Amino acid sequence: MAGVRRRVVAHGRVQGVFFRDATRREAERHGVAGSATNAPDGSVECVFEGDDDAVEAMIAFVRGGPGHSSVDSVDVSEEQPEGLTGFSAG
């Protein structure tokens, strides 16, 4: 899959509030590959890979606080695409 890859870390009340599952559903809707995982510091780390518009839509989705979350801040970094397929919310 050509396109872009972004690593997105969401801080706030983001664990135990269906954040990862809501993100997975939205990513599948946009055709974005990647993952959403809980980090030990209480944040959720996401990797989004796909076309630029779809990945930007996912970043906006995370900033909006999916599920019952309350997002305080979001860190976004650019990475080289790896050709991921599917989306994991484990």
| CB-neighbour burial class of residue 73 (10 A; exposed 0-12, middle 13-18, buried 19+) | exposed
Catalytic residue among 20, 24, 25, 29: 20
Catalytic residue among 7, 13, 25, 38: 38
Residue 25 annotated as catalytic: no
Residue 13 annotated as catalytic: no
DSSP assignment of 30-56, as one string?
A: HT-EEEEEE-TTS-EEEEEEE-HHHHH
Q: How many angstroms from the chain centroid is the CA of residue 66?
A: 10
Q: What are the backbone dihedrals phi and psi of residue 21, each rounded to the nearest 5 degrees, phi first? A: -65, -40
Q: Which residues belong to the active site? A: 20, 38
